[in-house]
Amino acid sequence: MRIAVLSDTHMMTPNQALISAYQQVMEEMDAVLHCGDITGEQVYAYLNSHPRFFAVAGNMDSGQWADTLPRKTSVQLGQFRIGMVHGFGLGSGSLVEQVVSSFKDQELDLICFGHTHRRLYEPDAYPVPVLNPGSFSLPKGSPAGLARIELRPGWKPDVKWIDVA
């Protein structure tokens, strides 16, 4: 199972970097996940053209299209179950720990979140591997981009960072 995970696109319309990343990476993936702060309805509609697109709402998403998105969800992709949340508003303390705690009653293979605009992949620090793809357009401390993940039964997720210009 191959998935693309992105977050914090923060754009109103698809720009050339998003269009290129979609055509070169996301289009061929088995699923595309967005961890919130899409911001623009046109960006949501563009990404939603992927047959297996899943998204959660972030704190910057608003409007009728955003109101249809869950704040937190888990998706079944083949034999893998992935938790998704933006991360805003989970409480004080370590955001990663709050994210992991918010899924404590679910059996998951991977947890994905956003909000910090910083890439993070912790395959062993928590009971479930945790990933933040950073920000697609407004990164902090890591390049702009997304994550390409290969999921195989019995293996930790294989994460490759895709940088965008």
pLDDT of 93 over the 90 cut: no
- Output the six-digit token pair for 46: 């563009």
pLDDT of 165 over the 90 cut: no
Q: What is the Cβ-side half-sphere exposure of residue 160, based on CA atoms within 13 angstroms?
A: 11
Q: For residue range 116-125, what is the model confidence (pLDDT) as tens digits?
A: 999 999 999 9
Map out the domains of the chain as residue ranges: 2-163
8-22, 86-100, 151-165: range with lowest mean pLDDT: 86-100
CATH of 2-163, one of 3.30.930.10, 3.10.310.30, 3.40.50.300, 3.60.21.10: 3.60.21.10
Among 131, 77, 79, 69, smallest CA distance to 103 is for: 131
As to burial, measured by CB atoms within 10 angstroms (0-12 exposed, 13-18 middle, 19+ buried), residue 76 is exposed
pTM: 0.96
